[in-house]
Amino acid sequence: MGDDSHELHIAMFPWLAFGHMMPYLELAKLIAQKGHKITFISTPRNIDRLPRIPPSLAPLINFVKLPLPHEVHLLEGDEATADVPYNKVQYLKVAFDGLKDPMTKFLATSHDIDYLLYDFVPYWLPDIATGLGIPNAFFSIFLGAAVCFLKPQEDRTEPEHFTVTPKSIPFPTTVKFKLFEILRIFESITGDASDVSDSYRLQEVLRCCQMVAIRSCMEFEPEWLHLLQELLGKPVIPVGLLAPAEHDGAGPDESSGTWKSMKDWLDKQEKGSVVYVAFGSEAKPSQVELTEIALGLELSGLPFFWVLRTRRGSTDNEKITLPEGFEDRTNGRGLVLTRWVPQLKILAHDSVGGFLTHSGLSSLVEALQHGRALILLSFLAEQGLNSRIFEEKKTGYPIPRDEFDGSFTRDSVAESLRLVMVKEEGQIYREKAMEMKGLFGNKDIQDQYVVNFLAYIRSHRRCLEPKIPV
């Protein structure tokens, strides 16, 4: 077999969040489609909850389960950020750092791994991999613009420092945090129970990795990808936007009559009329926010399909409830579900015209591959930056909020929904969504990024002698 057709073996180690694991898995499937082997490493319960792999790819994707070390603040089964209230994510990082030794032993005894891809959280892993002679890269599930902004700066010590554009960004941009967004995550960025801040983790991973693979493409953010490579002084290779395939996303209820009842409801709605509302696996609105969203949906007069997350993990005792009489008043026009739904199937349905979303990148990609207009309401992590990125490109409209506390009103929810869905002045958002469908949903363009990425890896595959005795 010639050198160019060498079958690669690529190992992957994502952070314990489904917003991270799913893009890693999507890339794994695309690589396996080219005939290469993947070893996907995570904890037992997380692996058991991942979507089923298509039978044709199953022989090429091997899942390795590393038990999560015990952490006194976590319950048994708390293995992902979706399993715990936000204030306990810091203890998940403590447990995750306990995987350093098991991960080292695994890599040291896996002599055929050609390349290792890892997330930003295991800041200790790049040096271990390089020491074992394994070429490696940070695979960023964040866009280039977000990484450019988040790249650690010595002078950012207060929340307000994150509400201005860093001097390292040489062109005009609105990409920065609002004060309420950074206040919600400031402790994790600057330090928490793990004694290692997210900022330090990212700094070390960017410093020690040999290359950055990134979930993005040149057609969407060329200026940011060029800048990131310039700032890092090392290769930045986009792998595409990783829009999931239609047959994926199979969940626990899909084989029953659940999807049929949802489809029956959607089939009765006019084409492009429905607002789909979902805030991902982690974002949970406060009671005040929930009330304003609900009453805003009611005021808008638009049909809606709302997937509502009322708890974050089994220890979340902060109950949130819909306003009294809301479901009766919107009966027939609106549908509220609190269980798992096949999001891809819903977004693909002709009756859906818009998506009220938390601005998580996976949700944005899923919506735009179907040309759905975006109404943005960020909650956590880098979602605020994503909101600015898509707003700047006129691809999403953010619901107006108070800069300091993030509050918003039912009127602003209703007005934003009507603007994007039906008003003439929101036509730009509907047109841009359809324009982006030609990029986000173009399998040929996106597939070429995977081909180019594999070509890079093939030319830099394992050829180093281990520096660490094994």
pLDDT of residue 316: 64
Give me 105's structure tokens: 């032993």
Reduce the DSSP state of residue 105 to 3 states and report it: helix
Which of 89-93, 126-130, 223-227 shows the lowest per-residue confidence on average (mean pLDDT)? 89-93
Determine whether domain 3-243+443-459 maps to CATH 3.40.50.2000.
Answer: yes
The superfamily in CATH containing domain 258-440 is: Glycogen Phosphorylase B; (3.40.50.2000)
Beta partners for residue 280, in sequence order:
none
d(CA 306, CA 386) in angstroms, rounded, equals 22
**258-440: same fold as 3-243+443-459?**
yes
Residue 2 has pLDDT above 50, yes or no: no
Segment 95-107, tens digit of pLDDT: 999 999 999 999 9
pLDDT at 470 over 70: no
pLDDT(465) > 60: no
Place 437 in a pLDDT band, splitting at 50, 70 and 90: very high
Q: What is the pLDDT of residue 194?
A: 66
Q: What percent of the chain has pLDDT over 70?
A: 91
**pLDDT tens across 336-381, in order?**
988 888 999 999 999 999 999 999 999 999 999 999 999 999 988 8
Cα–Cα distance between 135 and 463 in angstroms, integer? Answer: 8
**What confidence tier does 466 reach under pLDDT thresholds 50, 70, 90?**
very low
The residue with greater pLDDT, 426 or 381, is 426
pLDDT at 78 over 80: yes
Q: Mutual orientation of helices 179-190 and 383-392 as an angle, nearest 10°? A: 140
Taking every pair of C-alpha atoms in the chain, what is the biggest distance, in angstroms? 69
pLDDT at 313 over 80: no
Residue 193 pLDDT class (50, 70, 90 cuts):
low
368 or 155, greater pLDDT = 368
Residue 37: the pLDDT is 97
Tell me what the pLDDT averaged over the chain comes to: 90
Q: Is the dihedral of CA 351, 356, 358, 360 positive or negative?
A: positive
pLDDT interval class at 186 (50, 70, 90): confident
User: Is residue 254 very low, low, confident or very high in pLDDT (cuts 50, 70, 90)?
Assistant: very low
8 Å CB contact between 54 and 81: no
Other Cβ atoms within 10 Å of 145 Cβ, number: 25
Other CB atoms within 10 A of residue 271 CB? 10
pLDDT band at 17 (very low <50, low <70, confident <90, very high): very high
Which has the minimum average pLDDT: 153-162, 311-320, 335-344? 311-320
User: Does the structure show a pLDDT above 80 at 26?
Assistant: yes
Q: Tell me the per-residue pLDDT of 269-304, one tens digit each, with 9 for 90 and over.
A: 999 999 999 998 777 788 999 999 999 999 999 999
Q: Which sequence spans correspond to the domains of the chain?
A: 3-243+443-459, 258-440
